[in-house]
Amino acid sequence: MKKKISLIGAGQIGGTLAHLIALKELADVVLFDVAEGIAKGKALDIAQSSSVEGFNINISGTNNYEDTKDSDVIIITAGVPRKAGMTRDDLLGINLKIIKQVADGIKNTSPNAFVICITNPLDVIVMALQKYSGLPKNMVVGMAGILDTSRFKYFLSQELNISVKKIESLVLGGHGDTMVSMLNHTKVDGKLVLDLIKEGKLKKESLDRIVQRTKSGGAEIVKLLEKGSAFYAPAASGVEMAESYLKDLKKQLPCAAHLKGEYGVNNLYLGVPVIIGKNGIEKIVTIDLNDIEKKNLEHSISAVKELFDAAKKIDSFLG
Ligand code: A3D
């Protein structure tokens, strides 16, 4: 039987997700949005490309959660972006309300779905989503690390003039200024990136610049676009997670997952390597960290905790 993916939020990322899923024939797609016309319009537009592209899936748009019933995967991008004059806490308050509505909409209609959250601020919103929905923690996960790692790899590949395919890396921690590029786990053509510096093949300043550019990778695109934020790479990253679940690929991917002691963190969502297979998050992978990586990750953990404390002040249910 064909699988079903529901996309909650049919904006820039939602529409791109729908298109990628259709091209890959990964599943039937339901696009949901409070703005019903956007969901229906994008679904119709993509459906009309099927005879050109040759894909065979059903795609529809709706503003009714009943239509998302019994989804195998749900990907959430519902939210509002930060506008001028809005504080981080203002945005958090608005998106927490939206995520509560989404949680109420999906928890009874698709209780067995693998739920991927993309709405920002990511780590806190995915934690709130799990709490509001009560869905199992191994089935509720946040997308950020794949995107951040992909940006880091791309910048490194450009600097070293080498294919991204020859670069292994991991960017972990919270999705924001404190994300950590794990340099001791970054290899270029099988060689540690830090050794390339020792050998004079890469300047330390260049690597520092790339680490920094990765942290502000989202902001760089916001500035260029002037309106909206990145959506192609975020959508591709969400699809990789959905595919690993639906096809039981058991890929190791950096994602925001619920930790219960791993990395010294208890009861918090954080970007770490996980295995995604038919049972959702099948394993949290713990990797050895050197002192610098540990210190940077601790800094990131504090930032996520601080933001979650702000969320608890907004809604005591999250406490
Ligand atoms: P956008 O194009 O504004 O789409 C958001 C959609 O959500 C709009 O179509 C809204 O109508 C819809 N919406 C609002 N409220 C609701 C609701 N209650 N129920 C259902 N739909 C609703 O944004 P986008 O697609 O560019 O980005 C979506 C989210 O992803 C934002 O929060 C971004 O900040 C976030 N984002 C995260 C990453 C990460 O790496 C984590 C990267 C890029 C964007």
Please enumerate in sequence order all residues whose Cβ is within 8 A of that of 52, keeping only pairs 6 or more positions apart, or say none: none
**Segment 142-148 mean pLDDT:** 97
Among candidate residues 160, 158, 211, the one with its CA nearest the CA of residue 188: 160
Among the atoms of ligand 1, which is closest to the Cα of residue 229? 26
To which residue do tokens 């880091």 refer? 152
Residue 132 scores a pLDDT above 80: yes
Mean pLDDT of the chain: 96
Amino acid identity at 241 = M
Ligand 1 centroid to Cα of residue 10, in Å, is 8
- Identify the pLDDT of residue 130: 98
- Identify the pLDDT of residue 97: 97
The answer to pTM > 0.95 is yes
- Identify the pLDDT of residue 90: 83
Does any ligand 1 atom lie closer than 6 A to the CB of residue 33?
Answer: yes
Does any ligand 1 atom lie closer than 6 A to the CB of residue 121?
Answer: no
Task: Render pLDDT for 190-215 as a digit per residue (tens, 0 to 9).
Answer: 999 999 999 999 999 999 999 999 99
Strand, helix or coil for residue 75: strand
Percent of the chain whose pLDDT exceeds 70: 100
Residue 89 scores a pLDDT above 90: no
* Torsion of the alpha carbons at 134, 91, 144 and 237, rounded to the nearest 10: 90
Main-chain dihedrals φ then ψ at residue 163, nearest 5 degrees: -65, 145
Alpha-helical runs (H) found in the chain: 12-24, 36-47, 50-53, 88-107, 122-133, 145-160, 193-198, 204-215, 217-225, 232-246, 291-314
Among candidate residues 304, 154, 297, the one with its CA nearest the CA of residue 217: 154
Exposure class string for 222-254: b at 16+ Cβ within 10 A, else e: beeeeeebbbebbbebbbbbbbbbbeeeebebb
Does any ligand 1 atom lie closer than 6 A to the CB of residue 115?
Answer: no
Task: Render pLDDT for 41-71 as a digit per residue (tens, 0 to 9).
Answer: 999 999 999 999 999 999 999 999 999 999 9
